[in-house]
Amino acid sequence: MKMERINWFQWSSPQALYPLAGKLIPWFAWWSAVCITAGLYMGLLVAPTDFQQGDSYRIIFVHVPAAWMSMFLYVVMAGWAAVGLGLKARPSFMMAQAIAPTGALFTFLALFTGAFWGKPTWGAWWVWDARLTSELILLFQYAGVMLLHASIDDLRRADRASAVLALVGVVNVPIIYFSVRWWNTLHQGASISMTAAPKMAATMLAAMGIMALGFWLYSAAVTLMRVRSIILERERHASWVQMERVS
Amino acid sequence: MTPRHKRFAMIGLGLVALGIAAALVLNAFNSNLVFFFTPTQIANGEAPKGRSFRIGGLVEAGTLTREGDGLTVHFIVTDTVKRIPVTYKGILPDLFKEGKGAVAQGQLSTDGTFIASEVLAKHDENYMPPEAAEAIEKAKKAGAQSSNTLTPAPGRTGP
C-alpha cells in the first residue's frame, strides 16, 4: 500500500511561495492583533498585583514573550539557513533573510523593557551579568547576519555567507537560556520551565502565554510580508513577476 | 549518500564541533562569567583579592541597621552557610529587604567587612498576588510548627 505524501517541495520555488504567503498573511495578522490586545488587557488590567514588586512586574508581559521570540526566531532563522545550505533552495535563504529584522526587533524590545524593569526592581538599568550580556550579543548577531548579507553584492554568495554566520551563532541561544542556571547572575531564574510547575499565578501565566502567541503570529505575518517583497525584488526580471505587475 | 545528505551531515558535524568548542571556552572562562560570589566562595578564598568584586546572597533577617546619618547601613549577607557583614552608604533599592536576595559591589576590608559602593536587589522568579503570598507564609508557619511538635529538632538554633 502506498502512502499519500505531502509534497513539501511544491512551495520551494519563489513563484509558489509568493501567493501562499499572501494567503496566510491576513490570517496571521488579524489573530496576532486579537491576541496582543487580549494579552495586554489581561496583563495590564486583569492580572493581580505582585506581592513584592507591585505593578512594576507587569513589564513581564512584554519582556518575557519578546525575549522568547528573540531566541526562537534566531533558531528558526538558523534552521532556514541550514535548509538553504543543504538543499540549495533559494526560498529558504529568503525566509532566513526575512526573519532577521523581526528577530532583531524582539531582541531590542527584550533588552529595552528589561532596562525599564531592572531600574525599579534591581536598582540598575543595566548590569554585565551573563544573561544580559549574552542577549546583547544576540542583538549584534542579528545585526551581523543582516550586515553581511547586505554587504555582498552577489546574492548567492550573500545567502551562503550569512547562512553560515547565522548557523555558527546558534550556539549562543542555549547559552542565553541556561545562563541563569550555569552562572550566578543578577537576573532571576526561569519562572516557566518544562520540568517544574510554573512559579506564577494562573492569570499572569495565561496573559503571558497569550502575549507570546500574539508575538509569534505577528512574527509570522511580518516575515511573510517581508519574504514577499524580497521575492519581488529578487525575481523582478522573471516573467511571472512582470505578469503580476500587469494584473 | 547523496551530495544533499553529505551537505546536511557536514552542517550537523560543524554544529557539533562548534558546540564542543563553545563548551570548552565557556568552561575556561567560568570564573569570569560569574556575576557575584557567594559568602562560601569568599570564605574559601575564591573571590579576587585586592580588587573590587560583587557579593551575592540573602540579607539575613534582623541584621539591617541604620546609622544616625540615615544613609549608612549595615547588614549581613548569607548563603545560609557563611555570613559576611556588609557596610554601605547610599540609597537602597526599593526591593531591598531582609530575607530577600541582594548583590553588592565593593571590596573586602582587612577586618572581613565588605565595604559596598553599590547595592542591587535580586528578586526571585515567583510572581503571585499578595493574598497568595500571605497564604503560603501562613501554611509554612503552620507546617513548621507541626513539624516542630512532632520532632524536636536537636541541632536547631535561633528563634
Please identify among residues 186-215 of chain A the ones whose CB lies closer than 8 Å to any CB of chain B.
Answer: 186, 188-191, 199-201, 204
Residue B120, helix vs strand vs coil: strand
pLDDT of A238: 84
B31, pLDDT greater than 60: yes
Give the residue-averaged pLDDT of A129-144: 94
Q: Would an 8 Å CB–CB cutoff place A184 in contact with chain B?
A: yes
C-beta separation of A36 from A214 below 8 A: yes
Q: Is the pLDDT of residue A237 over 50?
A: yes
Whether A194 has a pLDDT exceeding 60, the answer reads yes
Whole-angstrom distance, CA of residue A208 vs CA of residue A212 = 6
Cα dihedral sign for A182, A187, A188, A192? negative
pLDDT at residue B149 above 80? no
pLDDT value, residue B21: 86
Share of chain A above pLDDT 70, in %: 96
Q: Mean of the pLDDT values across residues A57-61? A: 92
- Give the pLDDT band (50/70/90) at residue A182: confident
- The verdict on a CB contact (< 8 Å) between B125 and A191 is yes
What pLDDT, on a 0 to 100 scale, did the predictor assign at position B43? 86
Examine the pLDDT at A27 and tell me if it is beyond 60: yes
As a whole number of angstroms, the longest Cα–Cα distance in chain B is 80
Grid look-up 501562613 returns: B138
Strand ranges, E, within chain B: 53-59, 65-66, 72-78, 83-89, 101-108, 114-122
Q: Which residue has the cell 585586592?
A: B50
Nearest neighbour of A53 by CB, restricted to B95, B96, B118: B95
Average pLDDT across chain B, whole number: 82
Those of residues 42-61 in A touching chain B at CB distance below 8 A are 48-53, 57, 60
**pLDDT above 90 (res B28):** no
A150-159 per-position pLDDT tens digit: 999 999 999 9
Distance from CA of A51 to the nearest CA of B (A): 4
Mean pLDDT across chain A: 91
Which pLDDT band holds residue A5 (cuts at 50, 70, 90)? low
Decide if A200 and B133 are in contact by the 8 Å CB cutoff. no
Residue B61 and residue B78: Cα distance in Å, rounded? Answer: 10
**Confidence (pLDDT) at B159:** 39
Provide DSSP, B52-91.
Answer: -EEEEEEE-TT--EE-TTSSEEEEEEE-SS-EEEEEEESP
Closest CB to B18: pick one of A51, A171, A204.
A171
- Interchain contact A181–B (C-beta under 8 A): no
| Interval B131-155 mean pLDDT | 63
pLDDT at residue B156 in the model: 38
First to last CA, chain A: 44
Task: Answer whether residue A53 shows pLDDT above 50.
Answer: yes
pLDDT-based confidence at residue A64 (cuts at 50, 70, 90): very high
The reply to whether residue B133 touches residue A185, judged by beta carbons under 8 angstroms, is: no
Q: Lowest-pLDDT range, A78-87, A121-130, B77-86, B140-149?
A: B140-149
Rounded (10°) angle between helices A202-234 and A239-246 = 110
**Inter-chain contact A49–B121, Cβ cutoff 8 Å?**
no
The CATH number assigned to the domain with range B36-145 reads 2.40.50.140
Phi, psi of A204 (to 5 degrees): -60, -45
Question: Mean pLDDT over residues B117-122, rounded?
Answer: 91
pLDDT of B59 reads 92
How many A-B residue pairs are in contact by the CB < 8 A criterion? 114
What's the rounded mean pLDDT across residues B107-129? 88
Looking at residue A2, its pLDDT comes to 54
Confidence label for A148 from pLDDT (cuts 50, 70 and 90): very high
